[in-house]
Amino acid sequence: MKAILFDLDGTLINSLGDLADACNHVLKQNGYEPHPEEQYNYFVGNGMDKLIWAILPEGSTEEAFQKIREQYKSYYLAHSLDRTRPYEGIQETLKQLKEQGFLLAVVSNKPDEQSQKVVKALFEPGLFDLVAGNRPGLPVKPDPALPREVLNRLGADPDKSYFVGDSGVDMKTALNCGLKSIGVTWGFRTEEELRQSGASHIVCRPSQLLDVVKR
């Protein structure tokens, strides 16, 4: 079986506004300075823990981290769909990939509960064969543990499968799993980062994914 594994934030959905709003809300609530929204392009993508450490002032304590983390987790879960939307054209492309016989999965560093909620709300039922976010005790991408678990659960052949993402982390994830990587330029990171991280292919709009997987 052939599969395509997708990163979520910055690849399937533009969630930057909600992520930034949630972080800045809890920062201001605790007397910290908020960050400009565009700065979150480089804060997100490495899992919730690294996001919280990134937004806190240097030298912050573990106690401060835990407090902000719990407040953020609760607030974001309640507000994760305020501004978040799928990228234009992505739904149609996913349907066509499905028609071509690909198994489709989401593999995200976003916590699993958040990932499941967002995908269920924004995408048609049955479009994805599997949605997998980060779970406690599981290493975040680019560690291959979660993508390999997903491939095994799908019964997919890595040699016939792809990983699609918008960051260097995603390209390294593909490499660590033995998958062909497709970098997308409509997300949070730059084309230069994708190339430097070894992207097998780079696409500028969702419909180009169809051309890549035909090769």
Give catalytic residues, as residue numbers: 7
Contacts of 61 (CB under 8 A, 6+ apart): none
* Closest-CA residue to 105 (of 88, 89, 119): 119
Handedness of CA 170, 175, 177, 178 (dihedral sign): positive
Q: How many other CB atoms sit within 10 Å of the CB of residue 182?
A: 25
77: nearest Cα among 33, 133, 36, 34: 133
Answer for the pair 182, 164: CB distance below 8 angstroms, yes or no.
yes
The CA-based angle 84-195-15, given to 5 degrees, is: 5
